[in-house]
Chain A
């Protein structure tokens, strides 16, 4: 089909668009992802992606599924040059694609890939843009991927985490690295790095090797942690100036220095075993934009927000057993019975179970509130509220709920994903409500401003 004797009209990547199909490109394979198996609502199959770079330096991601994936996986080798045609372009999906191009390419089994045998093979050097560990705070709630370099302080054993979304067990290993900013950070290695490189690092950790890691996600579960993604690259003891500099520093001072976890100056940590109201501070948009938060185990955050909307026609309380607080069964006409305590009672406690919407400067979220927390926000007990509801036209009831909206509080929240009718949702529960200390909040905001400025 393709002949090397016919001169090709080669197009630059920058000139490609989805509306013109007759192109051939000449590109070098600058990154090759692993073959991955997927299983989602639309079916199951295999997929892998590559990064292609042309003479101009433009890059584009190309993805292949199933038959095409199997056909081209062995053909594509890192660093070689290929002529490619009959691929198809569409707008890049930034969730799966970090390559800087508005478009991404898909190759199917009719696409043509031919190696340009007269071109030299050039395996590109991984380009790093290291962030010093003490600067990681400013990447905290951003989607940007970062690179770090540091020496290994600790390697954990391999852990098995069950992914709630598909019940698969995935391996994870945590390593602690530190650099010359006297700060350390935990990097979570997910499969296949957890086992492959992870095992290697476990064996060599006595020697405090230097690792350079490219493409890490920054997350803030109780401080700051870094997580690997599919495209993360780890180089051990690389032969680079930064690596040598760090090795020298470690040799002279680093081995005896005491390091502090980055993010611990953000007042994380416990005061009298209770988390500080300034630790793990996030905006509501951080929580709602990350549906997988709390997948393995529920996670906790603090936030400052106002209740913005409460449905007045929901049943906001339930009849609770006076002994064990469980919901009572209403035996119409003859009182209540408690399944747990095996007793019958004529009266009950009314306990709150409320669902309300909360808003802050960046976002909004529905949250669940119970008992004492709901009482603090609504401003009266469930019994009192019920009395107001049945009195007159319920005007006092409406007013009480209205007065409770748009009052700022500081909350400690528990977040975990939840399946609802095959839909991935999020369950956010208010665990603690605290009044706003304005002077302390202002100071916290000022600290936040200066840390993003530096």
Chain B
């Protein structure tokens, strides 16, 4: 596992705490934009993703990149995560990764 560029697991609400840092999240695609897409985070907040998208985008995507604003990510990697995804489970994961169990995450 390449640990040279760690990315923090965030949801919409946690993103603002990591502006300037590398983050990763899963969002539901709301609509494509010029230069990227608008997404909805697993805690129902808007996330703007800028960067190169895959040709065809599924309902859910994983975004890894640098947070360049309280609700915006400059994406390095965007991966299709399919059309079924349990947003609640992911959201709880983000809370654990940034809360009581942060010492278990890079």
Contacts and interface: CB of A to CB of B under 8 A. Distances in A.
Interface of A: 439, 442-443, 446, 449, 453
B96 A449 contact: yes
Interface string B46-60: 000000000000000
Given A442-B89, A443-B88, 11 more contacts: A439-B84, A439-B86, A439-B89, A442-B86, A443-B86, A443-B89, A446-B89, A446-B92, A446-B93, A449-B96, A453-B100
13 contacts: A439-B84, A439-B86, A439-B89, A442-B86, A442-B89, A443-B86, A443-B88, A443-B89, A446-B89, A446-B92, A446-B93, A449-B96, A453-B100
A449 B96 CA distance: 10
Nearest to A447: B92
B58 to A, nearest CB: 16
Nearest to A450: B92
Nearest to B101: A449
Contacts of B89: 439, 442-443, 446
Interface size class of B (residues with CB under 8 A): under 10
A90 to B, nearest CB: 40
Nearest to B90: A442
Nearest to A443: B89
A259 B83 CA distance: 42
A442 B100 CA distance: 18
Nearest to A453: B100
Nearest to B100: A453
A446 B96 CA distance: 10
Cβ-closest 9 pairs across A and B: A439-B86, A442-B89, A446-B92, A443-B89, A439-B89, A446-B89, A442-B86, A449-B96, A453-B100
Nearest to B85: A439
B30 to A, nearest CB: 22
Interface in B52-106: 84, 86, 88-89, 92-93, 96, 100
Contacts of B100: 453
A446 B93 CA distance: 8
A404 B96 CA distance: 33
B59 to A, nearest CB: 14
Nearest to B89: A442
A439 B88 CA distance: 9
A30 to B, nearest CB: 39
Contacts of A442: 86, 89
Contacts of A443: 86, 88-89
A443 B88 CA distance: 9
A439 B87 CA distance: 10
Contacts of A453: 100
B16 to A, nearest CB: 24
Nearest to B86: A439
Contacts of A446: 89, 92-93
A450 to B, nearest CB: 9
Nearest to A449: B96
A443 B92 CA distance: 9
Contacts of B88: 443
A192 to B, nearest CB: 45
A256 to B, nearest CB: 36
A448 to B, nearest CB: 12
Contacts of B96: 449
A449 to B, nearest CB: 7
B15 to A, nearest CB: 21
A353 B93 CA distance: 41
Contacts of A449: 96
A76 B81 CA distance: 71
Contacts of B93: 446
A119 to B, nearest CB: 50
A447 to B, nearest CB: 10
Among A446, A449, A453, the most chain B Cβ lie within 10 Å of the Cβ of: A446
Among B86, B89, B93, B100, the most chain A Cβ lie within 10 Å of the Cβ of: B89
B90 to A, nearest CB: 9
A446 B94 CA distance: 12
Among B92, B96, B100, the most chain A Cβ lie within 10 Å of the Cβ of: B92
A439 B89 CA distance: 7
A323 B100 CA distance: 59
A435 to B, nearest CB: 15
A445 to B, nearest CB: 9
A164 to B, nearest CB: 42
Nearest to A439: B86
